Amino acid sequence: MKKRKHINTSGVRILTVIISLALCLGFTVSIKANDGGQAVGAVGYAMERAGERNVSVYVNGQRYGGRAFLSGSVTYVGIREFSMHMGVSSVSWNSERKTATVKSDSLSLSARNANLYITANGRYLWAGSGVIIRNGTMYVPLRTLAKAFGCSVSWNAADFSASVTGGGAIVSGDGFYNSESLYWLSRIIHAEASGESLLGKVAVGTVVLNRVASPEFPNSIHGVIFDKKNGVQFTPVANGAINCTPSEESVIAAKLCLDGASISDKALFFINEALAQSSWVSDNRPFLIAVGNHKFYA
């Protein structure tokens, strides 16, 4: 490939097409962060600089006055402005940790710059496109923030507007997460992906929950993990690693998955080619995406 002497927009257009194709195929495009907490990576840069436009947001029929913009396929709103629009009186900021905290009688919410999730009433809500800061304002994906406030969001592509309906606060984690489901999902995630990133852990959890939803597999997390219909499905079941205590991040990944985080609703298999003793999956199933050391298949 010849080096370009002049900067043009063709690279951005190509990346935008790649992002669009990935989204159409059901893939999640994420923004990773370096140790300094800044969004990095060519895809993240393209999403930030290309295809960004203002969005009209209506909350229960009333026009939202804060800034809202579309970056890639994600609508962002300022966490302070949106929270106060929803009736919260104050939002605190920790400059050292780059964390915003929202407090009300019914909601306790926290968002940290460059994280792929926020927490709300003990729940872990996926923000796969990332929490970001622009010109001193923290922005969070609208759907993620709306979920924390117990709202739903509908999108009107014709006029680039979003309608938020509902209000209040999300049900607490104590009342939402099933203890047995969390127990086993966090353990299989840790056993299979302890060395992977948070996204890599979520990817493994995605496969388990997709199997639960598929008629081809048992209809419970425990049943999927210990399924032996066609031989042991997960190596940690055979070697006992399934019983190891999961890390904090593995528990967080399990909670994110139980709250809807997913890399693809098609992913049913994964392998680490460096460790796999069989090539059946790669030989017989459609490839979807690679995340860390794992490849995922439908």
Residue range 202-239, pLDDT digits in tens: 999 999 999 999 999 999 999 999 998 877 789 999 99
What pLDDT score was predicted for residue 209? 98
What pLDDT score was predicted for residue 114? 97
What is the residue type of 95? Answer: S
What pLDDT score was predicted for residue 44? 38
Query: Above 90 in pLDDT, residue 10?
Result: no
What pLDDT score was predicted for residue 51? 62
What pLDDT score was predicted for residue 108? 97
Share of the chain above pLDDT 90, in %: 75
Q: pLDDT tens-digit profile of 70-124?
A: 998 999 999 999 999 999 988 999 999 999 999 999 999 999 999 999 999 999 9
What are residue 268's DSSP bridge partners? Answer: none
What pLDDT score was predicted for residue 138? 98
CA dihedral 232, 234, 235, 236 (to 10 degrees): -120
What pLDDT score was predicted for residue 39? 30
Tokens in use for 184? 């086993």
What pLDDT score was predicted for residue 236? 95
Least confident of 12-16, 39-43, 63-67, 151-155: 39-43
Contact (Cβ atoms closer than 8 angstroms) between residue 268 and residue 210: yes
Say how far residue 225 (Cα) sits from the centre of its chain.
22
Least confident of 121-125, 253-257, 271-275: 271-275
Average pLDDT over residues 20-41: 34
Residue 248 or 17, more confident: 248
Tokens in use for 197? 């990133």
What pLDDT score was predicted for residue 238? 92
Query: Above 60 in pLDDT, residue 55?
Result: yes
User: How big is the chain, counted in residues?
Assistant: 298
Say how far residue 176 (Cα) sits from the centre of its chain.
18
Q: pLDDT tens-digit profile of 162-208?
A: 999 999 999 999 999 999 999 999 999 999 999 999 999 999 999 99
Query: Above 60 in pLDDT, residue 62?
Result: yes
The pLDDT mean for the chain works out to: 86
Measure the CA–CA gap between 75 and 160, rounded to whole angstroms: 10
Average pLDDT over residues 34-52: 39
Query: Above 80 in pLDDT, residue 32?
Result: no
Q: Which of 212, 201, 179, 184 is nearest to 252 (CA)?
A: 201
What pLDDT score was predicted for residue 48? 45
Tokens in use for 178? 């099933």
Q: Please, which pLDDT band fits residue 17 given cuts at 50, 70 and 90?
A: very low
Average pLDDT over residues 139-148: 98
Residue 34 or 270, more confident: 270
